Each structure stands twice: as structure tokens, then as C-alpha cells.
Amino acid sequence: MIDEQANITVDYEEVSTEDYEQLLNRFIRPFNLAHAPLLRVKVVKCAEQRYVLLFDMHHIISDGFQLT
């Protein structure tokens, strides 16, 4: 089944370099396959001129090739 109305939000958070690993541990978590979306996106500001774009997706929506 394809949900044509699935919405994806891009979250934003500022963290210190020391707290970055804790943020990653909170960001990566199990998906509920009964509820879309099966993709999470977050922009993280780690320092004045340093940003990281995080993607967390369930393997069921990815073929692996698109990530290389």
C-alpha cells in the first residue's frame, strides 16, 4: 500500500558537539509500520558554521542503491 498523503517534516535542533551523540541516540528509534512516514529528517546545528543533515528511514522504503 502506498500512502499518497504521507507528510514528512524536517526538524531542527541546536546542540553542542558534546551532546551530539545523545541527540543521535534519541533520533534513531523504531518505526511503527502502521503509521507513515517511514522516514525522519533533522537538521542539526553543532557549531556556528557546522550543520548536519540526519536521515533515518526504514529499510522497507529503501533499496540500498539509492544511498550510495
pTM: 0.76
DSSP string, 1-17: ---TT----EEEEE--G
Task: List pLDDT tens digits, range 19-56.
Answer: 999 999 999 999 998 888 889 999 999 999 999 999 99
Residue 7: which of 28, 44, 38 has the closest Cα? 38
Q: With bands split at pLDDT 50, 70 and 90, how would you rate the model's confidence at 1?
A: low
